[in-house]
Amino acid sequence: MATTADIRNGLCIEHNGELWIVVEFQHVKPGKGPAFIRTKLKNAISGKVLSHTFTSGFKINVQRIENRSYQFLYSEGDVYHFMNNEDFEQTFINESMISAPQLLKEGENVTIGFHAENESAIFCEMPTYVTLEITYTEPGEKGNTATNAFKDATVETGATVKVPLFINIGDKIKIDTRNGSYSERVKS
């Protein structure tokens, strides 16, 4: 069993019966009273962020998470099918565990985190940026460019993204999966 002295960013701990990942921490030693650790914890399953303070020397239960590379194959309703890149074994994940399922296309590589004790999938993390092709967008009108003007565009996965007026059908764009926003046009 570890103590608060072992807390570091990225550490997975069991707290109140759930798995939490330490996002950030700060060791505080006030002039009066005992030292304590102020942390920001992210729930490994739901993604909820919680601020929590541990007293110095508090016992914590460290959990092991293994990150493995998988390739997205296809989806059936809310169930997404992935294949392990090393042993070609398939696994199935619920849509709620994926960070940005609307931007996931077939053949995309993702990282799936497994709880080491019971081999259950905890989260599915997509790459920071994905490159997708525009399948439909309205033509941009000249004269509407006094400020940063955006229009809706549909990408090959069916998701709708706000893009600049100069983007046309068939262009490939890079999309930030953290917030689903346009990043840049990709040159072919």
pLDDT of residue 147: 66
Q: How confident is the model over 67-111, as pLDDT tens digits?
A: 899 999 999 989 999 999 899 999 999 888 888 889 999 999 999
Per-residue b or e along 108-147, where b marks 16 or more CB atoms closer than 10 Å to that residue's CB: bebebbbbeeeeebbbbebeeebebebeebeebeeeeeee
78 and 54, same structural domain?
A: no
89 and 118, same structural domain?
A: yes
% pLDDT > 90, the chain: 44
Q: Order the strands of the 160-164 sheet from edge to edge.
A: 160-164, 150-155, 129-137, 172-176, 181-186
pLDDT of residue 174: 94
Answer yes or no: are the C-beta atoms of 156 and 133 closer than 8 Å: yes
Domain that includes residue 149, residue range: 129-186
Q: How confident is the model over 154-166, as pLDDT tens digits?
A: 999 999 999 988 8
Final residue before a domain boundary, out of 125, 140, 161: 125
54 and 6, same structural domain?
A: yes
Answer yes or no: are the C-beta atoms of 163 and 138 closer than 8 Å: no
Range of lowest pLDDT (120-124, 126-130, 135-139): 120-124
> Given the structure tokens 């994926």, which residue do they identify?
98
CATH code for the domain in which residue 179 is found: 2.40.50.140
